[in-house]
Amino acid sequence: MEMFKMTADEICELDPELAIIPVGSIEQHGPHLPIMTDWAIATETGKRVAEKMGAFLLPALPVSTCREHMGKKGSVWMEPTTFYQMMHDIIMSLKTQGFKKVGIITTHGGIFITTPLIRDLNAKFQPELQVAIVSIDNVTVKGVFETQGLHADESETSQMLAIAPETVHMDRAVDFVPDVPRHYLNYGSIFRATPTGVWGEPTKATAQKGERYLEEYATKAADELTRAFNYMSGKEKFGYSDF
C-alpha cells in the first residue's frame, strides 16, 4: 500500500509507527539504461518493503550523492553534508509526528554519509526513535544472477527489465569489467575505470531474473529491518546511555 496516495486522515486512522524512506540517484547507467535506474529501483523496492511491513512509505528520493559519475551530462548530485542535513530534517519531521521507527532503503551504492547519519540519530534519540538501513552492503540475494557487477550490470539491468522494460535498450548493452576494485572510485570517476560507464555484464540480464530478485530482496530487506529494530528494542540502559 502506497500510503502517500492516501489522505492524512486515512493515515492517522492506520497510525503506523514505521516510515520507509527509499533513496535512489539520478545518474548515468551506461548506453542501455536510463538515468532514473536507481530511483526506479528504489521506488519499486520501497513499495514492496512497505507493503510487507505495513509502513508509511515516502516517495523515493531521486537525488543523492554521485560525483563518481562526473563526465557525462545527466547525473545530478548534492553535497554529502547537504544530503546529511536533508535526511536529518526529514527524519526529525517523522519523529515529531510520532513515528517511532524509520527504515532507509538505498539502491545507490555511493551514499557513504548515511552511516554517520544513522549512528548519530540513534545515539541521540533512542529509545524514542530507531533508524535502520537496508542496502546492497547488508542484504544479499544469492543464486539469481550469473555474474556479480557494480553498476548498470546484470542485476540492475534485470530489475529495470522487470520494472520499466520500455526504457531498456538491450541492443546497446555492452559488458565491461574493470581491472580495478570499487574503492578506486575514490581516485577518479567511473569513466576512468570503464569507458562505457558499465561495471559488469548486462547482456546476461532478463526480466525474469529481475522480478525474482526484486521479490527476494524485498523479503530479505523487511527481515533485516525487523531484526535491526528488534536489536535496538532489546537493549537496556547501560550506565547513562540508551544507545
* pLDDT tens-place values along the chain, 243 residues long: 688 999 999 999 999 999 999 999 999 999 999 999 999 999 999 999 999 999 999 999 999 999 999 999 999 999 999 999 999 999 999 999 999 999 999 999 989 999 999 999 999 999 999 999 999 889 999 999 999 999 999 999 999 999 999 999 999 999 999 999 999 999 999 999 999 999 999 999 999 999 999 999 999 999 999 999 999 999 999 999 999
> 27 near 39, Cβ under 8 Å?
no
Q: Which residues touch 11 (CB under 8 Å, ≥6 apart)?
A: 3, 56
pTM higher than the cut 0.85? yes
> 162 near 40, Cβ under 8 Å?
no
Domain extents for the chain?
A: 3-228
Whole-angstrom distance, CA of residue 15 vs CA of residue 27: 36
Per-residue model confidence (pLDDT) at position 160 = 98
Q: Of the candidates 62, 61, 50, which has an alpha carbon nearest to the alpha carbon of residue 19?
A: 50
* Domain 3-228, architecture per CATH: 3-Layer(aba) Sandwich (3.40)
Whole-angstrom distance, CA of residue 185 vs CA of residue 188: 5
